[in-house]
Structure 1
């Protein structure tokens, strides 16, 4: 049996589902293909749940000697690397460092700003249409600082971000206790960012969007994107219940996008930043009201539906290397001192991979050497945040509408 459509979207994470929805809204017959039977089973499942309108500056490589030395010695709580994998990802790290110069970092920030500003509004529209208002909380998030030095640096960043409309309230110890009475620690201060939305079940939100896509006539099929081949007048993918054929195809496979673009000859420098999370019960009557980042200790606690989610920073390793949840093990005793955590909900930590390009901008747009091939991946730490906004941008480009943001900074041609 052969299934036909106007467009096939490969990948049913937040990015792929939102691209499929926006294309569907513009009258296209779309098939969503994933290796899993349900949406949101990979990277989109594991994150801090933030629709991050306050992060106008991307996560760039540090330029100061102190952090670089800590990273090199594997002593930073927020970053860890596999020494055995260093030859594999070192060339990408060099490109990341070069792209993190102040001038280039500012270019990346300004380029992504229209997407960041649009992110929450696009989610709100989809959440209303999907009828899942319980999956969006308007609490913002809190960033804690244990040292006056890190607080002072954060205040400088807040002042710069304020030029782009970011708001943040500086909290002293009393202010921290007023918002989060369950926290314990000696803090120099904190910043509450009120604008970001919080999603207490990110994987559930991706599934809700996929259900909306299906209710509106979209089809979700299980298939292997690695079988993609160009045929006369379109593209073909092998599916579990038969082939899928379409005039156009969108690669939205996050950290697995290289399984498609590399065989087609595109030297896109995609790498991954791995991360881990673990859900734990709260002890007694303790309640966490906001996602909280302990910036000096390098972990986040977020009040998810499944429990308090402890999320770690970045691990540089091969995407498919065995999990090494050292950061979770190191963070857990520190997290227990910060908030009264009980027993883990899961038997072992979850691991995921963030798809990253050196300039921390996604690839969005048409592939230059193949008719009907489009890219939408590389959203780094902001797949949940930017999925609906980049889905809209891509759909506008594919249907000939005027894009709401300049697509040039996201073009694949920037990599040669």
Structure 2
């Protein structure tokens, strides 16, 4: 057994630490803040078994033009950051073509299919059952044309990937969900996804489980990572910490760290915002208001509304325009009270141009492992890709996961 440093204490990093610990490795997690306070804190809290196809860039000019001129709330962008991301975005666009996207989805769907089964033992062992809602996720459509199109897609996903769904007319769905003020055109209820009332709290519960089992979590500076003759060292508040091996699980901050070691990791940075609103009528399950690109989820702090993607730099100041536009539209559909007073939260989804997470050995360094780039699905896929990483470290990787390997991608 070996000693490991895991850099990053989000869902992906903590899941890595638990998986390594489970097979007998000694693990120290290092992060600049407490576990679960970055993207793992503020996401929509859904373990998405229905997410068998990664988000593709539209291939039709009309939709791209609407994005370009700001006619949709799904995607907002700033010129300079978008230009800096242009090479990665172009590769993302090419991989969104039908044939390439279908091939990518074969691997992506396998990850989604394992998500709830891989979370389940951690939820139980960490005593987090009260945070989990097991009644699916709904997509609500405001017009018949969109609903009909997505009905066909839902039927296809069931045929190809065995993803269960229920197609419901709008009046019936409103009767099931009293928090709705009006009936949508229709709803697709994805039956097997789970949701979490406090995703940051679940990550922290997993972190507490890791500590109870003997692991250490230290505050430190990942940028201080240095290779030695025997492994790796990093500076922490408790002093220099060393280990034979290191796992890079820093999400959107991974490429910046890895520049120092000679890697150029292309990444698309999709920022998302959330806000909490008083729950005046109980919301049974999370739903996406497809037309307006916002998702509403029942949380411990009220109804959490999360946004689509803003293409901005990692360190750009908060701009809640996308959230405010979405909430204003959402209020015509959903009963919501006033906004809960809190600092405006935002986080960044680390999206790879080929839409697959990066899991495996660093191409140029011994005893360094990559585990990042999960895009929208770090909360969903963290425990699953952690098990894949653990198998890779043990020399037991299955061939079905070869598309996740860094060596063929960087």
- Relative to the length of structure 1, the TM-score reads 0.95
Paired residue total: 408
The answer to whether 1:411 aligns with 2:405 is yes
* Partner of residue 77, structure 2: 81
* Partner of residue 148, structure 1: 144
Cα distance in 2, alignment partners of residues 266 and 160 from structure 1: 39
Cα distance in 1, alignment partners of residues 263 and 255 from structure 2: 9
Residue of 42, 48, 51 corresponding to 2:44: 48
* Partner of residue 161, structure 1: 157
* Partner of residue 373, structure 2: 378
SS in structure 2 opposite 1:341?
A: coil
Q: Which moved more, 1:213-222 or 1:254-263?
A: 254-263
Give the deviation of 1:168 after TM superposition: 0.9
* Partner of residue 94, structure 1: 90
* Partner of residue 121, structure 2: 125
What root-mean-square deviation, in Å, do the aligned CA atoms of Structure 1 and Structure 2 show? 1.3
The answer to whether 1:108 aligns with 2:104 is yes
SS in structure 2 opposite 1:371?
A: coil
SS in structure 1 opposite 2:85?
A: helix
- Relative to the length of structure 2, the TM-score reads 0.97
- 1:89–1:317 contact (8 Å) kept in structure 2: no
SS in structure 2 opposite 1:245?
A: strand
Q: Which deviations, in whole Å up to 9, do the C-alpha atoms of 1:350-382 show, x marking residues without a partner?
A: 111001101110100001111100000000000
Q: Which deviations, in whole Å up to 9, do the C-alpha atoms of 1:235-257 show, x marking residues without a partner?
A: 01011110110000000000111
The answer to whether 1:32 aligns with 2:26 is no
- 2:174–2:183 contact (8 Å) kept in structure 1: no
The answer to whether 1:301 aligns with 2:304 is no
* Partner of residue 273, structure 2: 276
Give the gaps of 5 or more residues in structure 1.
none
Cα distance in 2, alignment partners of residues 348 and 172 from structure 1: 38
* Partner of residue 356, structure 1: 351
- 1:62–1:68 contact (8 Å) kept in structure 2: yes
* Partner of residue 311, structure 2: 316
Residue of 319, 337, 341 corresponding to 1:342: 337
The answer to whether 1:288 aligns with 2:260 is no
- 1:268–1:415 contact (8 Å) kept in structure 2: no
Give the deviation of 1:403 after TM superposition: 3.4
Aligned residue runs from structure 1 range 205-220, under 5 A: 205-220=202-217
Q: Which moved more, 1:252-261 or 1:218-227?
A: 252-261
- 1:365–1:407 contact (8 Å) kept in structure 2: no
SS in structure 2 opposite 1:74?
A: coil
Give the deviation of 1:322 after TM superposition: 1.1
- 2:140–2:290 contact (8 Å) kept in structure 1: yes
Give the gaps of 5 or more residues in structure 2.
none
Give the deviation of 1:405 after TM superposition: 6.5
SS in structure 1 opposite 2:337?
A: strand
* Partner of residue 244, structure 1: 241
Cα distance in 1, alignment partners of residues 391 and 47 from structure 2: 22
Q: Which deviations, in whole Å up to 9, do the C-alpha atoms of 1:57-82 show, x marking residues without a partner?
A: 10010112221111111221111001
Cα distance in 2, alignment partners of residues 144 and 271 from structure 1: 27
- 1:43–1:354 contact (8 Å) kept in structure 2: yes
- 2:267–2:351 contact (8 Å) kept in structure 1: yes
Q: Which deviations, in whole Å up to 9, do the C-alpha atoms of 1:266-285 show, x marking residues without a partner?
A: 122122100000001123xx
